[in-house]
Structures are given as C-alpha cells and as structure tokens.
Amino acid sequence: MDGSWITSAGIDIGTSTTKLIVSRLKLVRVSSALSLPRYEIAERELLYASPIHGTPLVGENAIDADRVWAIVSGELDQAGIGKGDLKSGAVIITGETATKTNAKAIVHRLAERAGDFVVAAAGADLEAYLAGKGAGADRRSNRIRGAAVNIDIGGGTANAAIFKRGKTIGTVTFHVGGKLIRLDGTGKILYIAPSIRPWLRMNGFLIETGTVATFTQLKDICYALSRSMLSYFLGGNDALADWNLSNHGLIVGKPLDRVPEIEEWMVSGGIGRLIRDRAAPDNLAETAIHQDIGPLLAYALMECMAASSLRIAEADETVRATVIGAGMQSTEIGGATVHLDPKLLPIRNLPVLKLEMFSEGDERWLTGSGFDAELEATMSLALRLHDSEADPPFALAITGFRAMDYSSLQNLADRLQSRFARDFPNSGVMVVLCERDIAQALGQALQRRCGQRPKVICIDQVRVEHGDYIDLGEPVSGMTIPVVVKTLAFPSETG
C-alpha cells in the first residue's frame, strides 16, 4: 500500500552501553503498478529512545545473553511494542563486544526473538561507517563537496570514518576512549587499560593503578591524547611515518594507506554527547562523575578541534549514532539471465558494496588506471568492513554501464577474479549483482577463471545501494531469483 507506515527497531550492543530505538517509517512506492514493488522511505519518525544501559558481560569473553534480552524485551515493553508490531530493523553488536566469543550467536538470537531484522556483528571499521552515517557525516560531505570525518568515541575506542561526496573513503580506529582510565573523586587510579599503557609510557605519563593523580596530570593526558589523534588527520601523508613512530600502538588494526585532505569533522558516541551536554570539569570530583576520564577527554578534544584549521560540524546523533533506525525492505525479482548453483541458496543478510563502472561510451576506462583505482578502493573497503572469513563475505554490485562487448566483459572477469582471489582466498562463494543483462555471460567467465572454488553467483536486474543488505531466495519458475533488499535507514539531515 502506498504511503503505508511500518514500525522498526534498532538495537546497539556496544563495549560500554546497550541502547534501543523504535522508529516509524512511511514507505512510498516508487515503481509503477506494472513493475515489481520498490519502495523508498519518505518520512521517519522516532517513537522511542531507551535509556543507556551498561552492556552485561559474563567474565571478559562472553555477553550475558539472558540479561541483554531482558534489557531489550523490557525496553520494547516500555515502548508498547510487541514482536508482531516490528516489521524490520537492525541488531548491531559494536566495539570490542563484537569480538566476544558468543557475539554472532547473540545477534541472531535477538533477531529471532524481536522480529525480521538485519543483523551484523560489527568490527571497528563497520562501526565507524555506521556511526558516521548515523551522525550525518556522509550527508555533510555531500553538502560541502569535500571530505568530512566523523570520530565516534565511546569507552574504549575512537572509530573514525572519512566520507567524500557521500561515499566512504577510509576508516581508522584509535585506542582513545573515556573509560581507558578509571578513577574515583579523589584522583585515585582504579584502572588503566592495557591498550593505552604503551602510549602513556612513550609520552612520559607515569601513572599506575592505585596511585593518586592530580587534576593537572589527567588534563595533560587528555589534551596530549586528543592532539595525537587529531594530528593524524592534519599532518598530511608525508608526516604519517613520523606520526606512527611517536604514537606507537595508538591505532587499532590497520592504519590508512593515505589521509585525504579533510575540510570538516564531527564527534559522535558517548564523548560526543559529553561535548554537547556537559560543561568542562574544573576538578577531580567533576571529572570522575562517571568514575572515568570521559568528561575531561571530551573537553580537551573540543578545545583541540577548535584550535585546528578544520571546521567543526555538529553531529545529527551522538551517543545513538550507531543505533540503526530501521531496515526497510523491498522485494525484487532478479534474473533475466543468471549464473548460479541453486544448492548455494538461500543466503540471508549479505552486505552489499558497489563498484562504479565507466560511463556510457567510455569503455577505454575499464582497461586503464581509473578502473584499477575504483576496484582497489572497493575491495579495500570490503576488507575493512566485512568478515573475510564469512562465506560469502559480501555481494559486489556492478553499476554504471549501459552495454559491454565480449572483450570488455572478459577483461572485467579477469580483474574481478584476480582481486577477489587475492583478498578473499578462503571464500567458497563469490556473489556479483548486475543492473543489466550480463549476469550469465559474466558469471560463466568468472567461473572459468575461478575453477571449482569459489562458486560464482551472478544475478542481474537488481538495484541496490552501498550499505544495503540482501536476501537471495531459492529459485522460482526456473532460474528466477527473489531478492529482498534491506536498506538501513539513518536519520535525515537536520541542518
């Protein structure tokens, strides 16, 4: 029905906190009456935002499933929402919680109990991407026609995502967070995270658990930590080597290959909320209101950002930036031509990445450096955002071409197979989505190059966007494939 409303929930289980929001989405049909149904989100209304709960764990290595479900079910009851009321949504496990031994089992259990959800156990790079979109950095980068970075800072990490003209071009994560150092109101150090100890020693901060720190010492640490992180984005690519030497261990995982010129930044997460809502602390008691350095870190970070040459933009969302508003779903039928082994289906909740092809009439682009750069960027992003051990790890959507001759198609197959084999050598399935009717020919060309492994699924006439999730159903009426496209819905830009 055109103009219909659906109710959806977003659940985020993070390193420090767990929260839930309930939204109402107005769906408007944009396809004709003679076409398969496709909808767009015309309006989004926030119905309920839960309080911020501490994430319950069992020891250091497992999530307490029963207590997490008690939080979620209690908040759904508080919102007056039953399982039958929820038509879509998203469950995201973020931060270090995503590395817990039972993370994936928990996220699927929540989805089963709460409704038909998009589910993802997010690593730091996917969390940075989701938080950046929730904070509005992608939309800001479109408005300024340049690069904007959102830094989502919670208790243990700062996840940064860089967007340029609406597209993610890089993610990087730092050991920067409000709970890395915990203290009481007298300044007694209760805890220092192992992840931050190398940086503290390197920078001459010789504090230890059980000792008493002064307000000035903690302030110096927060300012130095903020300057170190922010300077990563300001020094230019020539200065990266020196930065890595003086800030050894501050980056979690892989650093950026290069840092683009950034025009604007914003901060989300718990530290973003403190920047927005809390005055600067003047003493130890005000600093330790949450028994950590969060308030002081927020103030130091804001001061250091203001002193830089970059503009500061206010995030659309702060502490709830990573809570996805909803997963709107639409159904299409893929396959004027297809290439697949039906035994591989069904596949659910497969993330999508887009590979933009050459424009019409410029087939030379496919054999040049332009395509290589686009493929490199797309596959590098896939490695950062998605589980390389998942099978399949993601679906590659090829868009932007009108027609393709035999030589161009074979060249495309060569490049795709070579890069996929290099980056995802353990994958048993490769999924490719095409807008146009080349799936059978491209799928056969890919399979010849892949041999027995990976198996290739290639489907055409499917329209998706970067960041969507898809379900591929079992074939109907021969080789026609039902495809459910799930679009994560983020807040609209507020200004």
Among 54-68, 226-240, 326-340, whose mean pLDDT is lowest? 326-340
Cα angle for residues 191, 126, 64 (degrees, 5° grid): 50
The larger pLDDT score, comparing residue 462 to residue 282, is at: 282
pLDDT computed for residue 481 by the predictor: 81
The 8-class DSSP code of residue 476 comes to: B
Q: Is 439 helix (H, G, I), strand (E, B) or coil?
A: helix
The larger pLDDT score, comparing residue 329 to residue 11, is at: 11
pLDDT computed for residue 328 by the predictor: 63
> For 146-181, how does the pLDDT look when each residue is reduced to its tens digit (9 = 90+)?
899 999 998 888 999 999 988 888 899 999 999 999
H or E, element range at 170: strand 167-174
Residue keyed to tokens 């939309």: 139
Domain layout of the chain by residue ranges: 4-124, 137-315, 347-472
Q: What is the mean pLDDT of the segment spanning 343-357? A: 88
pLDDT computed for residue 365 by the predictor: 56
The larger pLDDT score, comparing residue 392 to residue 97, is at: 392
Average pLDDT of the chain is 85
H or E, element range at 280: none
H or E, element range at 415: helix 406-423
> For 187-227, how does the pLDDT look when each residue is reduced to its tens digit (9 = 90+)?
999 999 999 999 999 999 989 999 999 999 999 999 999 99
> For 286-317, how does the pLDDT look when each residue is reduced to its tens digit (9 = 90+)?
999 999 999 999 999 999 999 998 999 999 88
> Which letter, b or e, does each residue of 94-107 get, where b requires 16 or more Cβ atoms within 10 Å of its Cβ?
bbbbbebeebbebb
Q: Is 235 helix (H, G, I), strand (E, B) or coil?
A: coil
The CA distance from 209 to 52, in Å, is 28
| Cα 161 to chain centroid, rounded | 9
pLDDT computed for residue 307 by the predictor: 93
- Tell me the pLDDT band of 94, cut-offs 50, 70 and 90: confident
The CA distance from 448 to 456, in Å, is 10
- pLDDT tops 80 at residue 33: no
H or E, element range at 24: strand 17-29
Contacts 24+ apart (CB under 8 A), 168-172: 168/129, 168/132, 168/138, 168/381, 168/466, 169/260, 169/377, 170/256, 170/259, 170/260, 171/124, 171/125, 171/128, 171/129, 171/384, 171/385, 172/128, 172/232, 172/251, 172/254, 172/255, 172/256
- pLDDT tops 70 at residue 441: yes
Contact 306, 409 (CB under 8 A): no
> For 353-406, how does the pLDDT look when each residue is reduced to its tens digit (9 = 90+)?
998 876 544 555 566 667 888 888 889 888 888 888 888 999 999 987 767 788
- pLDDT tops 70 at residue 2: no
Contact 482, 476 (CB under 8 A): yes
- pLDDT tops 50 at residue 75: yes
Query: What topology is assigned to 4-124 in CATH?
Result: Nucleotidyltransferase; domain 5 (3.30.420)
The 8-class DSSP code of residue 105 comes to: H
Backbone phi and psi for residue 255, each to the nearest 5 degrees, phi listed first: -75, 170
Q: What is the mean pLDDT of the segment spanning 235-257? A: 81
Q: What is the mean pLDDT of the segment spanning 247-262? A: 86
Q: Which pair of tokens denotes residue 425? A: 């050598």
342 cis-preceded (ω within 30 degrees of 0): no
- Tell me the pLDDT band of 37, cut-offs 50, 70 and 90: low
- pLDDT tops 90 at residue 329: no
pLDDT computed for residue 198 by the predictor: 92
Amino acid at 381: L
Contact 217, 296 (CB under 8 A): no
- pLDDT tops 50 at residue 414: yes
Q: Is 66 helix (H, G, I), strand (E, B) or coil?
A: helix
Q: Is 388 helix (H, G, I), strand (E, B) or coil?
A: coil
Do 4-124 and 137-315 fold alike per CATH?
Answer: yes
Q: Which pair of tokens denotes residue 469? A: 């999730």
The larger pLDDT score, comparing residue 472 to residue 61, is at: 472
H or E, element range at 226: helix 215-231
Query: What topology is assigned to 137-315 in CATH?
Result: Nucleotidyltransferase; domain 5 (3.30.420)
Q: Which of 51-55, 96-100, 480-484 has the highest mean pLDDT?
A: 51-55
Sort 34 into a burial class: Cβ within 10 Å, 0-12 / 13-18 / 19+: exposed
- Tell me the pLDDT band of 336, cut-offs 50, 70 and 90: low
> For 263-293, how does the pLDDT look when each residue is reduced to its tens digit (9 = 90+)?
999 999 989 999 988 788 999 999 999 999 9
The CA distance from 290 to 245, in Å, is 33
Q: How far is CA 218 from CA 224, 250, 376, in A?
A: 10, 18, 42
* Residue % of the chain over a pLDDT of 70: 88
- Tell me the pLDDT band of 494, cut-offs 50, 70 and 90: very low
Q: Which pair of tokens denotes residue 257? A: 């290959």
pLDDT computed for residue 1 by the predictor: 43
